[in-house]
Amino acid sequence: MAHSDNAATIHITDEEIDHICDEFGNREGAVVQILQTIQDKYGYVPAEVLERVGEDLGIPHSKMFGVLTFYSQFYREPRGKFILKVCVGTACHVRGAGLLVDKIKENLHIEEGENTEDMMFTLEPVSCLGSCALAPMAMVNGNTYGKLSGDKMVDLLKQFREEASGAEEAEAAPAS
């Protein structure tokens, strides 16, 4: 999932939204996919964007809000650069996923569903990711990490931070 940098509030023009709705033929049936496309691109679905999509498709705002809040995949707030999806499904639960979640909370000082202050991490316990043989496991930005322990998790967090600072330096350097 190539989320754009969403550390600050994002601005999406009405034209961009209209364009995405157009691609799906402005059909009411495509509303979930339209919202998915917007979220993939911008990381979350801001309130004003939701309104505009509703206007484009001719769907009342109440219904748009209903759809957006029904599905756990959609977010109304910006999220961190790294989404820590820690599996808390049955097999992972049996093998100590709870301890992993606690370790992250302790290390990053955030609760479930929250972002770190620097918008680097979001903790998101999820139900089964289907790799139960490698329990406990987690998925971070589309990559899977199996047979985790509290210490391994802490190492991973460190690794992600280094990755992020590395990428920033690369961005800051002038293109050759």
Partner 1 sequence: MATQTVEEMAAGLFHDVAIPTIHIGMATCGLAAGARSIEELVIKELEKRGIEARIIPTGCIGMCHNEPLVDITMPGMYRVSYRNVKALIIPQIFDAHFGKGEFAKKYAVCQIPIAGHKAYEGLPLMAETGFFKGQVKIVSSRCGLIDPSSIDDYIATDGYRALRKMLTEMTPEMVIDEMTKSGLRGRGGGGFYTGLKWKLTRQSPGEEKYVVCNADEGDPGAFMDRSILEGDPHSVLEGMLAAAFAIGNSKKGYIYCRAEYPLAIKRLRKAIDDARERNFLGDNILGTGFSFDITIKEGAGAYVCGEETALLASLMGERGMPWPKPPFPAQKGVWGKPTVINNVETLGNVGHIILNGGDWYASYGSEKTKGTKTFALTGSIKNSGLIEVPAGTPLRSIVFDIGGGMLEKKIPFKAAQLGGPSGGCIPASGLDTPVDFENVIAAGAIMGSGGIVIMDEASCIVDTAKFFLKFTQDESCGECTPCRVGSKIMLEILTRITEGKGQEGDLDELIRLSMYVKSNSLCGLGAAAPNPVLSTIRYFREEFEAHIRDKHCPGTVCANLIKYVVIEEDCTTCGLCEPVCPTGSVTWDKGEVAHINLETCIRCKACVDACKFRAII
Contacts of residue 126, Cβ cutoff 8 Å, sequence gap at least 6: 85, 86, 87, 88, 139
Distance CA 108, CA 110 (A): 6
Among 9-17, 44-52, 109-117, 128-136, the segment contacting partner 1 (CB under 8 A): 128-136
Distance CA 104, CA 84 (A): 9
Among 15-23, 137-145, 152-160, 161-169, the segment contacting partner 1 (CB under 8 A): 137-145
β-bridge pairing 82-86 and 138-140? antiparallel
Interacting positions 54-73 with partner 1 (CB under 8 A): 66-67, 70-73
Distance CA 57, CA 76 (A): 20
89 touching partner 1, by CB under 8 A: yes
Query: How big is the site for partner 1, counted in residues (CB under 8 A)?
Result: 43
> Binding residue for partner 1 (CB under 8 A) from 7, 12, 120, 134?
134
Distance CA 112, CA 105 (A): 8
Placement of tokens 């939204």 in the chain: 17
90 touching partner 1, by CB under 8 A: yes
> Binding residue for partner 1 (CB under 8 A) from 20, 100, 123, 135?
135
> Binding residue for partner 1 (CB under 8 A) from 12, 44, 74, 140?
74
Comparison of 74 and 161: residue with beta carbon closer to partner 1 = 74
